[in-house]
Structure 1
Amino acid sequence: MATATVVLSFRPDAFRCAGLAGELADEWVELVEASRVGEGAGRVYITAMRAFLNYVDAEVADAESASLSRREPDLHRAVTEWMRILPSQHAAGSRAPGWYAGRIRALVARRVQHPSRPVAGHLHGWVEGAVGVRRGGSTELDEFSRADKKKLIRVAEAARLAAKARVRHGRQLAAAGMDPAVGGWLVLENLLWAMARDMGGATEVLARLPQPSSSLPRSLHDLAPEGLGWQSTVQLVRFLVAQLFLTSMDLHAYRILLMAATGRAPEEVTALTEDDIEFGVGGVTIDFNKRRAHARMRQAFTSDVSSAGLLHPSGARLDAAEIIRELLELSRPLAALVGISPVPLFLRASLVGSSLQVAALSRTRGQNFTDWLRNNELTVDGVADIRRLRKSVKVEKTIAFGGRISDVADDHSEATFSGHYAHGTTLRVIAGNVITTAQQRWLDQALAGPTVLDEQASESLADPQAATALGLSAAEVEALRTGQLDMGVTDCTDPFASPFGRPGQLCPVAPLRCLECSNAFILPSNLPQLLLFADHLEQLALRLEPRHFHALWGQSRANLAEVLQSRTDVEIARARAQIAEERIVVHLPLSSRVEFDA
């Protein structure tokens, strides 16, 4: 049985410079035959050749004589001038100019390396130098939101079930039919029988149906949507094709579900054939081919048997094995009809003109992902691009693995992950939340200062309601009033529950960090010590580098400044007099004197 092939064509005689076109075409054919490029890259080569040859036809004198082996006309000047104006023919930042220039240089370079194909002029030096056209860039796609992804999967699952039921029913009808030449050409079952058994069945059915379509029997007209009848027999035959085989719209739904189930890129999923699949007892093993990376990867997926058989499952079952079994079941008869082996998973049938066409899922006008969304009345935020679904899966995987890039980038390089996936909105938000949470934690700790009480508040501590509002017990109020909890610079409600030490340990940083502690209470009696501590901080600020001082003492200084601003000038003057009369000194640990006095 034949293997499915893609036909790429290029006609050198379509250009005035047919000789030059033939030379480039020879190199392109050999490159493609060597299997060094895929279908997509092969088409890019064709587009690049056409762009360059059209320029030669329009701008080069005596284009009919143009050849890589001749010095005149000068193709070195032509190719460099073409590349110079190439970026102006595309959108700013487009990658196309770099791609096209690189493809033309690759073809010329192949010819330079061939011993019997001379290349004249300065093209040898041009091949060895830089292309001269920037690679350009692209705006990276963002992932689908979780809400949009859920909508896509839900609608795709409903479409999948509808497609499976439709095709199975259509094939049952075909199995019940007979040769229309015997049973009649106006019987639905017979028409399906003919189309299911012969590649030319659609053409023959179309030729046998009566014209105009109004002559069709009511039984066939009733098959039209809403029973409105068929405007043409072509519409009827197109409908019959969809009763037997999957269409592009059906394959979009299966692609969404298989991408969500496997987490793979759209081109990896749609390129699968039966040879890439190995079913097991607990699931399926798939060999994915990433052409751009020239890599193959085997990955196993287990089946979710826990939800199988439920009448009302909580959501769509993204079982890769089940989805693939259905695709093979529905695609196998179509592959057999045209002799394709191994059977591709994503194979569609459509009526083109009067004949049946079988092809893989591809970009076709009116049959794209955006058309599938429109047909299903779905809207998504941002660009309607199926590749965004792959990014959604990568984001979820990143979250599941806790951001470990080595685990997330298991099917590509870490550089690829950083360049194509790490920019996503979800990951940025999560990273921002982590940073914000950490910053808020430190900010809360920094701003968690002491409780400041003035004279009136200190006198009201005897009131049980006031003590309760401050979170103090009667014993703690009494200890504060009698000075039992005086730590030097401030008082403390519980020196053995310090946020700077272990539970049960006497605070290891008192009184140096009391002004940053939520356990601290500042009473009017602490004012002399606070003033002396402020003086020491001012001296310390003169001795230490500003950045070092701010890191160590900036928050204490700021909190202390707020406390002192809340005191009146009379209170501060009275405290200064008390310091002088009683010769009060600041109560600091001996270890801190080294830093203060050094």
Structure 2
Amino acid sequence: MPRRGERKVRERSTVPEAMPRQEPERIGIRRVAWTRRGVKCFHTVDPAKYRCSTLAAQLADAWVTYARAMARADGGADLAQAVRDFARFVDKHLPALGLDPADARLDGHIVDLAEVIHAWEEDLRQRHGLRSSAPYVKTGGLLTLIEQAVVSETDMPQALRLRAQAPPAYPPYRGEPLDEFSNAERLALRDAARDAVRALEARLTRGRELLKHGVDPRMGGWHDPANLVWAATRPYLLTVEVLKPQFPQNVLSWPEPVKALLPAGPDSTLLKRGFRYLVTELSALLFPAEMDLQAFRVLLLLGMSDTSPEELHDLTLPDIEFTDGGVRLVQRKGRAHRVRADLHLDPAEGAATDFAGDGAWDVPGLLRRLLAATELSRKVFPDAGPWLFLAVERRHRGVLDAEVAHFKNRDRRFGGWIAAQRTAGGKPLEITRPFEIRRLRKTAKVVRAVALGGTVSDLAGDDHHVEVYRMHYAHGTTAHILAGRAINRAQKWVFERTSTSGHPVLVTEEAEQHLEEPDVTADLGLDAGQAKAMRSGELDMGLVNCRNPYDSPHRKDTKVCHVAPAMCMLCRNAVVFTSQIPRLVLLSDHIERMRTTLTPPHWQAQWGRQAAALAEVFDECADLVPTARREIADLGLRLDLPLGMRTEFDR
């Protein structure tokens, strides 16, 4: 445990400082430099390449000034691209109108640039299609630069000034948001990544065992694999130019131990031949490559629901601090200009693990394994940056070199890694497209939502606003399923409260005669007091008997039922005697008469469920219904319903 004063100083979030204010060069190529993950890049605009060189120079100057003043982290790459694209269009468009592109300038009146911008937007729409945001981005960037140029170009036409203040003609394309991976896909990706990590660790163990027995191949010979592995730790000693004189040109004539290093198929046929592949395979025995690091990337994103791919990718060794309880990570979110520290705890001692092999699969365990895998890379290449994802590849002139993994090459992206994985049966993984690494973050969010439940504010967590969660995460399939289940549970509760599941109990004539006997009372779900009150007519509600008028399922308090007899046939407390069958027959006839006076939807809403409940009762005592109808005719019985019931239900 760190002592007081030994903990690393937490880096606080700060507003990016503006670059030094200086006037751009007015002649020659305009260039802006920027650094990303330790690599210095340049964006350039050369006005001399275009016939509208004056206009291109004015826009390029505005770009350089704006990028420096706003401290753009990427050097304003989108703005430079907009300038180049617009300049090319002006060179092509103006001659077709009989105008000279050299006359185009922001402070000129010969060429109406507002109309040219409109034509350029139409051209962008045609080139990029309807499902692209490029017209919006490029036009927005150009208009921003024109607004910037207003400060220096005082003679700018009023029409162009007004156009710069207006939005682009075409809005950005809002495509379908990314969905998360299903649970089966998540487990398949997790298992494949774990298998890849185990295979990497086994390969590195084999290579480092060879390294222990290796010597300088210039002294011990080039045909010993251990010596070749030793040469891999001296990058300039293991190149194609150095290896060619040491081996025959025909790969099949190489010594068998060296040929065994090359990738081969199940039938021992060499899949890749040549010195380049030999260097790559020797490097793979000692250093992880980008494809090897993808497995760690997948597992960490699945285990860190509050970390974006960019934050994980930008981690360096100073950002990682192991403690007795876990690991503390300092993460930087460039888009939000935020720096935050997260603590990931180790699992409790003695907790059961669900993996085979050494190490742990939680976040601290994965980071320890990743650092162990890249330890030799940092020793052999001390000038490489302190990146967590440090990959060794054949780079300039075929020499091994280490730098941060970019995961941008087509074969080294997340989709390429998925395509290279196989199940235990040797089949490719069945993963839905698109193969976007951002879907892993959404999957981790959904797993967290399933585990926690609760409100949207609970699910959003500490790293999102509720509205951000609703817009970018709550649309997923799993979230919809969870919402549907919640609605179904609520509906089921309501239906159970109002459904006929507690339909009236029919008491036969024989049972009615022995109603006060304990065995009969128990079978009917009554107590002695209820049975006695029913025999005396105290619980007669006008249509049927009621077990307890003060325990109505249609109200929450303990007051007397307020919907009898309108809802008695839908109540679990109702008890029907055979002497009450004529009343039910009269009610059934009344309901059928209402069918002719009410619209079908209205009748179904008011009387449909009661008609179904009556049909169930009549099915149980079908032999008593004809007798009940004769009794109605002989005695002239009529149905007495409360006035309120007729007013509410019959119209």
User: Is TM more than 0.5 here?
Assistant: yes
Deviation per CA, 1:280-319: give whole Å up to 9, x if none: 1111111222222222232111011436796966999432
Give yes or no for contact 2:500–2:613 (8 Å, CA) kept in 1: no
CA–CA separation in structure 1 for the residues paired with 2:204 and 2:63: 42
Residue 361 of structure 2, aligned match among 296, 308, 318: 318
Does the Cα contact within 8 Å between 2:50 and 2:87 map onto a contact in 1? yes
Q: Shift of the alpha carbon at 1:23?
A: 4.3
CA distance in 2, matches of 1:437, 1:348: 51
Structure 1 residues 221 and 32, CA gap change in structure 2 (3 angstroms): farther
**In 2 relative to 1, CA 164–342 (structure 1 residues): closer, same or farther, beyond 3 Å?**
same
Alignment CA distance shift 1:23-1:350 (3 Å): farther
Q: For residue 398 of structure 1, report the CA deviation from its aligned partner.
A: 2.1
Moved more, 69-78 or 560-569: 560-569
Hey, what's the Cα distance between the residues in 2 that align with 1:32 and 1:170?
A: 48
**Counterpart check, 1:361 vs 2:406:** yes
Task: Measure, in 1, the Cα distance between the counterparts of 2:372 and 2:68.
Answer: 33
Question: The residue matched to 2:339 in structure 1 has which SS?
Answer: strand
1:249 and 2:283 matched? no
* C-alpha RMSD of the superposition: 4.5
Aligned to 2:39: 5
Match of 1:132 in 2: 169
371 and 341 in structure 1: CA distance in 2 versus 1, 3 angstrom threshold:
closer
Letter in 1 for 2:458: D
CA 1:361/1:528 → structure 2, altered by over 3 Å: closer, same or farther? same
CA distance in 2, matches of 1:34, 1:342: 29
2:505 and 2:524 in contact (8 A); partners too: no
Q: Residues 178 and 126 from structure 1, CA distance in 2 versus in 1: closer, same or farther, beyond 3 angstroms?
A: farther
Amino acid at match of 2:416: D
Secondary structure of the structure 2 residue equivalent to 1:7: strand
Q: How many angstroms does 1:240 deviate by? A: 1.8
Contact 1:222 1:228 in 2 (8 A): no
| Structure 1 counterpart of 2:33 | none
Structure 2 partner of 1:511? 564
CA contact (8 A) 2:521 2:531 kept: no
Aligned pair count reads: 577
Q: Contact between 1:394 and 1:421, CA under 8 Å: does it hold in 2?
A: yes
State the partner residue of 1:280. 323
Q: Is the CA contact 2:503–2:571 (under 8 Å) kept in the aligned structure 1?
A: no
* 1:217 maps to 2:255: yes
1:345 is matched with which residue?
388
Residue 571 to residue 536, structure 1, CA distance change in 2 (3 Å): closer
Identity of aligned residues (%): 29
Alignment of 1:446-595 (within 5 A): 446-448=498-500, 451=503, 458=509, 472=524, 483=537, 485-493=539-547, 498-500=552-554, 508-509=561-562, 511-512=564-565, 513-526=567-580, 557-562=607-612, 571=628, 574-575=631-632, 578=635
- Deviation, 1:85, is 3.2
* SS in structure 1 at match of 2:178: coil
> Is it true that 1:143 corresponds to 2:180 in the alignment?
yes
Q: Which moved more, 1:445-454 or 1:182-191?
A: 445-454
TM-score normalized with structure 1 length = 0.80
Say whether the 8 Å CA contact 1:532–1:586 is kept in structure 2: no
Matching of residues 194-343 of structure 1 within 5 Å:
194-198=231-235, 201-202=238-239, 205-206=242-243, 209-210=246-247, 212-214=249-251, 216-226=254-264, 227-229=268-270, 231-263=273-305, 264-306=307-349, 317-331=360-374, 333-334=376-377, 343=386
**Conservation of the 8 A alpha-carbon contact between 2:178 and 2:439:** yes
Distance 2:175 2:578 in 1: 66
Preserved CA contact (<8 Å) 2:213 2:226: yes
Quick check: 2:211–2:230 contact (8 Å CA) kept in 1?
Answer: yes
Stretch moving more, 428-437 or 161-170: 161-170
Distance 1:559 1:321, change over 3 A: closer
* Larger CA deviation: 103-112 vs 232-241: 103-112
Query: How far is the alpha carbon of 1:407 from its aligned partner?
Result: 3.1
Structure 1 residue 325: deviation in Å? 2.7
Look up the equivalent residue of 1:95 and give its one-letter code: S
Amino acid at match of 2:564: P
Aligned to 1:428: 480
- Is residue 527–residue 572 contact of structure 1 (8 Å, CA) maintained in 2? no
Q: Which has the higher helix share?
A: 1
Asked if structure 2 preserves the Cα contact closer than 8 Å seen for 1:180 and 1:191, the reply is yes
Compared CA separation, residues 509 and 228, structure 1 to 2 (3 A)? same
The answer for the alignment partner of 1:99 in structure 2 is 137
When the two structures are superposed, what TM-score results if normalisation uses the length of structure 2?
A: 0.74
Larger displacement relative to structure 2 (215-224 or 275-284): 215-224
User: Unaligned 5+ residue runs, structure 2?
Assistant: 1-35, 423-428
Letter in 1 for 2:147: A
Q: Is the 8 A contact 1:282 1:302 kept in 2?
A: yes
Give CA deviations for 1:40-68 in whole Å, capped at 9, x if unaligned: x8554454344333322322333356444
Q: CA deviation at 1:537?
A: 11
Quick one: which of 179, 199, 203 aligns to 1:162?
199
Q: In the alignment, which residue of structure 1 is the partner of 2:120? A: 82
Aligned to 1:543: none
Report the CA distance shift for 1:473/1:72 in structure 2 as closer, same or farther (over 3 A): closer
- Secondary structure at the residue paired with 2:411? coil
- Partners of 1:309 and 1:528 lie apart in 2 by 68
**Residue 450 of structure 2 is aligned to residue 399 of structure 1:** yes
Distance 1:89 1:346 in 2: 38
Name the residue aligned to 1:437: 489
- Would the aligned equivalents of 1:489 and 1:587 in 2 still touch at CA under 8 Å? no
Q: What code does the residue aligned with 1:306 have? A: E
The structure-2 alpha-carbon separation of the partners of 1:68 and 1:163, relative to structure 1 and needing over 3 Å to count, comes to farther
Offset at residue 183 of structure 1 (A): 3.5
Whichever residue aligns with residue 356 of structure 1, its letter is L
Cα deviation code 1:196-227 (max 9, x no counterpart): 24467546645655452525332211112235
Q: C-alpha displacement at 1:271, in angstroms?
A: 1.6
Q: Does 1:51 align with 2:105?
A: no
Query: Separation in 1 of the partners of 2:150 and 2:431?
Result: 50
CA distance in 1, matches of 2:143, 2:157: 14
Structure 2 equivalent of residue 408 of structure 1 = 459
Letter in 1 for 2:571: C
Q: Distance between the aligned counterparts of 2:175 and 2:586, measured in 1?
A: 63
Secondary structure of 1:297 counterpart = strand
Matched-pair contact (CA < 8 Å) for 1:529–1:587: no
CA distance in 1, matches of 2:359, 2:553: 49
Distance 1:315 1:343, change over 3 A: closer
Give the 3-state SS of the residue equivalent to 2:39 in structure 1.
coil
Amino acid at match of 1:388: R
